[in-house]
Amino acid sequence: MMRRIPWLGMITFAVILFVISPLLVVIPVSLTSNNVLSFPPQGFSFKWYEKIADRPEFIDSFIFSIELAVITAVCATLIGTIAALALHKYDFRGRRLINALLLSPLTIPSLIIGIAALLFFTRISLAGTFWGLLATHLLISVPFVVRLTLTGLSSYDYTLERAAYILGAKPGHVFRDITLPLLKPALISGFIFSFLTSFDNVTVSLFMVSPSMTTLPLAIFSYMQETLDPLVASISTVVILLSLVFILILEFVFGLDRLFGSNSQSH
């Protein structure tokens, strides 16, 4: 039974190829000198990279996406962590209900979250504003943080806190020297998850952006619906290469399967 059957390995290889190929083909296409999208690419030039500079909306939206993702990650980690701490540390009536409510956005498709937010935010004049966009990004990120922090807290030992208090430590000290270090892995995972959730999101942002404020995935999405040319390939290549660096850092520092494994059931 322990002997490896080669066809399992072959199918695995094929599936890996299947999920990686759409990213691999983008890179050669971005180096074409042709004006239309074709494969294999003809000629070699960097002209499609130069053309990115002619379209400031992509650079602006890239910067905006990063800003939004960082703000989302910081706020979501904070909001989610303190909520998880409250849920784990204190026993009160309605605790399980609040826990379920905080995780409930995960059970609703993001398309419907976007539609609901657009209609309601239009009513309270929040639609098309930065705050509206940030609120929806926080809404879809906070449940991840709550889950990750609760998982991290499940092995948390309160006797350490008690011991510190007995030894005369002040609450601020206890938080800094005991609670925070023990929660660090969960905080980092939560931060990365929120960042990626916000940075890659299209379906919710679709309903929240305005002409003057758009995210990179959405700028590409809108462009692709009108024109299909190698410009999308050069922008995508830049994003892929930057993501690759980011992913490799994540893998070396934390291990992606650990990061993802605890969340595979939560979409």
Partner 1 sequence: MAGAVQSNKGSLRTALLLLTPGLVLLIVAFLLPMLYIFLQSVQDEHQQFTMKQYLLFVQDPYYAQVLWRTIKLSLYTVAASLLLAYPVAMFMARTTGKLRGIVTFLIISPHLISVVIRNFGWVVILGDKGWINTTLLNLGLIDEPLRLLYNELGVVIGLVDSFVVYMVLSIATSLYAIDTSLYKAAGILGASRLRAFLTITLPLSLPGMIAGITLVFSLSMSAFVTPALMGGTSVKVMPVIAYEKIMATLNWPLGAALSFLLLASTYALVALFTRLIETKRYKEVFSS
Q: In this complex, which beta carbon is closest to partner 1, that of residue 159 or of residue 264?
A: 264
Cα 160-145-201 angle, rounded to 5 deg:
165
Single-letter amino acid, residue 129: T
Q: With respect to partner 1, which residue has the nearer C-beta, 125 or 225?
A: 225
| Chain centroid to CA 37 | 30
Shortest Å, Cβ 4 to partner 1 = 6
Nearer to partner 1, 37 or 52 (CB): 37
8 Å CB contact between 232 and 223: yes
Question: Does the footprint of partner 1 cover residue 152 (CB under 8 A)?
Answer: no
Tokens of 6: 């080669």
- Cβ 97 to partner 1 shortest distance, Å: 11
How many residues belong to the site for partner 1 (CB under 8 A)? 92
Contact between 150 and partner 1 by CB under 8 A: the answer reads no
Asked if residue 232 binds partner 1 (CB under 8 A), the reply is yes
Place of tokens 């892929």: 240
If one asks whether residue 243 binds partner 1 (CB under 8 A), the answer comes out as yes
Residue 84 vs 178, nearer CB to partner 1:
84
Residues in 28-47 at the binding interface with partner 1, rule: CB under 8 A: 29, 36-40
Region near partner 1 per CB under 8 A, out of 56-64, 96-104, 152-160, 181-189: 96-104
Length of the chain equals 267
171 sits near partner 1 (criterion: CB under 8 A): no
Q: What minimum distance in Å lies between the beta carbon of 148 and partner 1?
A: 14
Of residues 50-69, those binding partner 1 (CB under 8 A): none
Closest to 161 in 3D by CA, of 183, 147, 137, 177: 177
Only segment of 47-55, 150-158, 179-187, 229-237 that touches partner 1 (CB under 8 A): 229-237
Q: Footprint of partner 1 on residues 189-228 (CB under 8 A)?
A: 196, 199-200, 202-203, 206-207, 216-217, 220-221, 224-225, 228
> Which segments of the chain does DSSP mark as H helices, in order?
6-24, 26-30, 47-50, 56-89, 95-103, 110-123, 130-153, 158-166, 171-174, 180-200, 205-208, 216-226, 230-253, 256-261
Whether 144 and 103 have beta carbons less than 8 Å apart is answered as no
* β-strand partners of 210: 213
d(CA 149, CA 262): 11
Region 74-93 residues binding partner 1, contact defined as CB under 8 A: 78-80, 82-83, 85-87, 89-90, 92
Q: Which positions from 118 to 137 touch partner 1 by CB under 8 A, shown as an x/- string?
A: xxxx-x-----------xx-
How many other C-beta atoms lie within 10 A of the C-beta of residue 136? 25
Q: Does 142 bind partner 1 (CB under 8 A)?
A: yes
Residue with tokens 């992606």: 256
